[in-house]
């Protein structure tokens, strides 16, 4: 994911500084060359030796070091991307006001590479209007910010201020290294997961969909600046808390939620695996064990077909077709019949995996896309944006 990429990690004096070790380790394992700059206060909380051992690269802490073998701003030119994690209120305030009084703030000021901040601090510090103003000013100047997570903070308070999960930071960084914030102002509706159709209070019918592709699409669209609504059924991974998520269980609930949200969105991507059939009668009591059982199923409403009928000229509708045979032929028929702009056809074997291979079909497109579901999600978004500019 970061093969041969030069990442400059800035670590400041927040209590989450120790969590930056896991981030440095993950980025290194993903192929990046990671150099670290630590502030004097960060060195009070964690040792530079830890980062050096993890990254096998230089860790610098001082601007005026006669023995240092790197020029004071050379790392600013070296980096493909800079990430400050954790970012204290102090470093955000300094950069927002043009202060360059140590190696990290001077490097941030001197670099032309994208700069990403991952703030982590006490809830009252984060909500302080001065900090918020600084974040807004820096955002306006093209710096990228990842929102802290909600939860129990080291200071004892509960609220927004926690250092995000390493994997989410990896996705955030990957996006800013490779893509622009080209979805700002766009509203996108994405569905994910496997629906559950109740047979009785104990049993249900479902399918193998993990929801990973839909969540990957939602994540990628969010980091590119879109306002994302994720309507999901049962998924096998945690839904990132920065997403506006609506939970549904059955095909009927999914139908109602999607139809309600559809008119508010410009782009709609339906990656959920919704049941085609549901039990004709849902037993109120648990069905007793017998030698055999005949279950009568009735068809559910076809959400994608209904959206295709209601679609306005300025809306883009994308469907997924998981098939076990005649993948392209079946997907092409679905594209036409349901009035879709694109359809992503894949083989059932990718279900639940982190990697995927799809054929994206549009009226003028037939493209094979492969990689992690997150990378493929970005490629699908590129194609959708390409269509908008046709
Ligand atoms: C134990 C400890 C934990 C701290 N945690 C945070 C924190 O999570 N976030 C923050 O913005 N400041 C935190 N601070 C305050 C910063 O260390 C302080 O503002 C310092 O000036 C930051 O310097 P730097 O940005 O140059 O690293 C903490 C201080 C101490 C003593």
Q: Are residues 197 and 173 in the same domain?
A: no
* Nearest protein CA to atom 7 of ligand 1, as residue: 14
- Distance in Å, CA 121 to ligand 1 centroid: 8
Give 65-83 pLDDT, tens digit per residue.
766 666 768 899 999 999 9
Core vs surface per residue 281-291: b (16+ CB within 10 A) or e = eeeeeeeeeee
What is the reported pTM?
0.94
Q: Are residues 98 and 245 in the same domain?
A: no
Q: Are residues 83 and 120 in the same domain?
A: yes
- The answer as to whether 216 is a domain residue is yes
**Count of the separate structural domains present in the chain:** 2
Number of other CB atoms surrounding residue 301 within 10 Å: 14
The predicted pLDDT at position 386 comes to 87
- The answer as to whether 1 is a domain residue is no
The predicted pLDDT at position 389 comes to 41
Give 355-385 pLDDT, tens digit per residue.
899 999 998 889 999 999 999 999 999 999 9
What string of H, E and C letters represents the secondary structure of the chain? CCCCCEEEEEECCCHHHHHHHHHHHHHHHCCCEEEEEECHHHHHHCCHHHHHHHHCCCEECCCCCCCCCCCCCHHHHHCCEEEEEEECHHHHHHHHCCCCCCHHHHHHHHCCCCEEEEECCCHHHHHCHHHHHHHHHHHHCCCEECCCEEEECCCCCEEEEECCCHHHHHHHHHHHHHCCCCCCCCEEEEEECECCEECCCCCEECCCCCCHHHHHHHHHHHHCCCEEEEEECECCCCCCCCCEEEECCCHHHHHHHHHHHHHHCCEEEECCECCCEEECCCCCCCCCCCCCCCCCEEECCCHHHHHHHHCCCCCEEEEEEEECCCHHHHHHHHHHHCCCCEEEEEEHHHCCCCEEEEEEEECCCEEEEEEEHHHHHHHHHHHHHHHHCC
Q: Are residues 249 and 140 in the same domain?
A: no
The pLDDT averaged over each successive group of 10 residues in the chain (390 residues) is 95 97 98 97 98 95 76 88 98 98 96 98 96 98 96 83 96 96 96 97 95 97 98 96 97 98 98 97 95 96 96 96 83 93 85 85 91 96 76
- Distance in Å, CA 163 to ligand 1 centroid: 13
- The answer as to whether 11 is a domain residue is yes
Q: Mutate which of 12, 88, 100 to test ligand 1's pocket (most atoms within 8 Å of Cβ)?
A: 88
* Nearest protein CA to atom 3 of ligand 1, as residue: 15
> Of 133, 154, 178, which residue constitutes the final position of a domain?
178
Number of other CB atoms surrounding residue 336 within 10 Å: 11
Q: What angle do CA 58, 61, 65 make, to 5 degrees?
A: 95
Q: Which atom of ligand 1 is nearest to the CA of 41?
A: 27
Catalytic residue among 15, 43, 109, 155: 155
The predicted pLDDT at position 387 comes to 65
Contact (CB, 8 A) for 234 and 196: yes
Q: Are residues 224 and 329 in the same domain?
A: yes
Q: Are residues 218 and 131 in the same domain?
A: no
The predicted pLDDT at position 354 comes to 82
Distance between CA atoms of 383 and 379, rounded to whole angstroms?
6
Q: Mutate which of 44, 46, 90, 94 to test ligand 1's pocket (most atoms within 8 Å of Cβ)?
A: 90
Q: Are residues 166 and 191 in the same domain?
A: no
Domain that holds residue 292: 187-388
Q: Are residues 156 and 200 in the same domain?
A: no
Pocket of ligand 1 (CB under 6 A): 12-16, 39, 41-42, 88-91, 120-121, 125
The predicted pLDDT at position 390 comes to 44
Give 259-297 pLDDT, tens digit per residue.
999 999 999 999 999 999 999 999 999 999 999 999 999
- Distance in Å, CA 23 to ligand 1 centroid: 19
Active site residue 43: no
């Amino acid at each position: 994911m970061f093969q041969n990429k030069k990442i400059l990690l800035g670590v400041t004096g927040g209590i989450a500084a120790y969590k930056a070790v896991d981030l440095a380790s993950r980025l290194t394992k993903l192929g990046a060359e990671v150099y670290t700059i630590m502030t004097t206060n960060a060195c009070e909380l964690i040792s530079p030796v830890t980062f050096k051992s993890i990254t096998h690269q230089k860790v610098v802490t001082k601007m005026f070091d006669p023995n240092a073998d790197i020029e004071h701003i050379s790392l600013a030119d070296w980096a493909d991307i800079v990430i400050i994690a954790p970012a204290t209120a102090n470093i955000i305030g300094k950069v927002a006001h043009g202060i360059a009084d140590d190696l990290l703030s001077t490097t941030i000021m001197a670099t032309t590479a994208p700069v990403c901040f991952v703030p982590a601090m006490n809830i009252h510090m984060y909500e302080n209007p001065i900090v918020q103003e600084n974040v807004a000013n820096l955002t306006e100047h093209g710096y990228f910010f990842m929102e802290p997570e909600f939860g129990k903070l080291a200071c004892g308070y509960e609220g927004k201020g926690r250092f995000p999960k390493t994997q989410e930071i990896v996705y955030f960084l990957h996006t800013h290294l490779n893509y622009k914030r080209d979805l700002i102002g766009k509203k996108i509706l994405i569905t994910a997961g496997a629906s559950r159709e109740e047979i009785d209070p104990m049993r249900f019918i479902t399918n193998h969909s993990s929801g990973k592709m839909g969540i990957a699409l939602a994540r990628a669209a969010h980091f590119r600046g879109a306002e994302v609504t994720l309507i999901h059924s049962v998924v096998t991974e945690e839904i990132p808390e920065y997403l506006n998520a609506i939970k549904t269980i059955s095909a009927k609930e999914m139908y109602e939620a999607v139809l309600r949200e559809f008119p508010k969105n410009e782009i709609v991507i339906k990656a959920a695996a919704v049941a085609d059939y549901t039990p004709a009668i849902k037993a109120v009591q648990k069905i007793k064990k017998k030698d055999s059982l005949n279950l009568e199923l009735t068809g559910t409403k076809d959400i994608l077909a209904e959206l295709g009928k209601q679609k306005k000229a300025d809306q883009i509708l994308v469907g997924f077709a998981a098939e076990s045979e005649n993948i392209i032929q079946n997907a092409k028929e679905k594209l036409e019949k349901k009035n879709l702009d694109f359809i992503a056809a894949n083989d059932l074997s990718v279900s639940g995996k982190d990697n995927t291979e799809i054929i994206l079909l549009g009226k003028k497109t037939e493209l094979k896309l492969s990689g992690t579901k997150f990378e493929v999600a970005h490629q699908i978004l590129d194609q959708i944006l390409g269509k908008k500019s046709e």
